[in-house]
A = this chain, B = another copy of it.
């Protein structure tokens, strides 16, 4: 059975390669036509998707999925229109393929340029939300990649309906349906087969919790990009404007608690602790946030004593770890020890502190007097996002179309040979 599954995944990857070899030659016009066709077909055939989605919701309810998961799984006309609009937005973005990154005429006359090219075959592993299926297919297509989509089993009917519509749209404009394929989703082993299909798959992007990311890191032989784990800190410096600090802490923590750019830890400089610790504790508690603190924080009413574990926890809930630090140095060291390299913020009015913090903190994004919530492809002006990379290799921070490409050096000569050295 497992060997069958392996062969199923590999066969899909081989079909994806054939599709990718055709897609690399597709003009932007054709790719955009496919995206518009996909959007129109999703709207026209929304009923098919909703019927399939109803089956998933029924099965999810019977299986006892939480309200939150069921909500993420649920589609309606408005959500389908939303993903269709997303495809139209992607059609409006510049084509990353062919962009000349560098180029020059070498001293010997060789014309050299480095151009963006598709990765080739890209795998995506993701969880409940079926809209990711459409987003990922659209971004992969625009960046010239064939997509292997491995969604959650709880969304199987929805994903199957969506992918059938996307594949029909590809064929309508004369592109291979195998640019978009759904992988078997019932067995964790299909993820293993995907991330070990070296040579068949060029890149896998896992979107999910620490468990998935860890499994991928340990087992993958295919290149991968880690996304989506964020233990983000807000550090309130001695020189901070406390009104600004309160606003940023509250927004970073409470705007949406389930997202990776939400703050999970608060660090307050000791020079302002007497004033700011009671104030921010009360403000957080007024918004139903449980504060897990030590030292001055632990002495406030209703604060839970922080354990070592709290500093490393991505709560994704109305909880925050909080501690007083004696210096910017201590804040930087705390973040180095406990941060996940996603987003770190400083609130300060001191230029030197801001410069030190941005230079020394090692993370995908560093905010000065701004909420951690801004780390987002749309906010950064990328138009669309496939995830937020927390690794340093290839892509760091929000990943748009460019981050789904590789590059190639092309040199044109007229019989150029290299002399012996």
Contacts and interface: CB of A to CB of B under 8 A. Distances in A.
Given A25-B359, A368-B410, A374 B218 contact: no
Contact of A392 (B218, B380, B406): B406
Contacts of A363: 408
Contacts of A366: 408-411
Interface stretch (A50-58, A85-93, A104-112, A161-169): A104-112
B223 A373 contact: no
A38 B241 CA distance: 46
A414 B251 contact: no
A391 B415 CA distance: 28
B370 A413 contact: yes
Interface string A222-242: 010100000000000000010
Interface stretch (A6-14, A298-306, A393-401): A393-401
A379 B251 contact: no
A211 interface: no
Contacts of A223: 391-393
A420 interface: yes
A25 B357 CA distance: 11
Given A106-B381, A217-B221, A392-B202, A371 B251 contact: no
Given A110-B370, A359-B25, A380-B112, A396 B407 contact: yes
Contacts of A324: none
A393 B396 contact: no
A412 B407 CA distance: 31
B218 A221 contact: yes
Interface of A: 21, 24-25, 104, 106, 110, 112, 114, 117, 119-120, 198, 202-203, 217-218, 221, 223, 225, 241, 243-244, 247-248, 250-251, 255-256, 336, 354, 358-360, 362-371, 373-375, 379-381, 391-394, 396-398, 406-418, 420
22 contacts: A24-B360, A104-B381, A202-B392, A203-B392, A223-B391, A244-B414, A248-B416, A248-B417, A250-B417, A256-B420, A358-B408, A363-B408, A364-B408, A367-B411, A369-B415, A370-B412, A374-B416, A392-B406, A393-B406, A396-B406, A397-B407, A398-B409
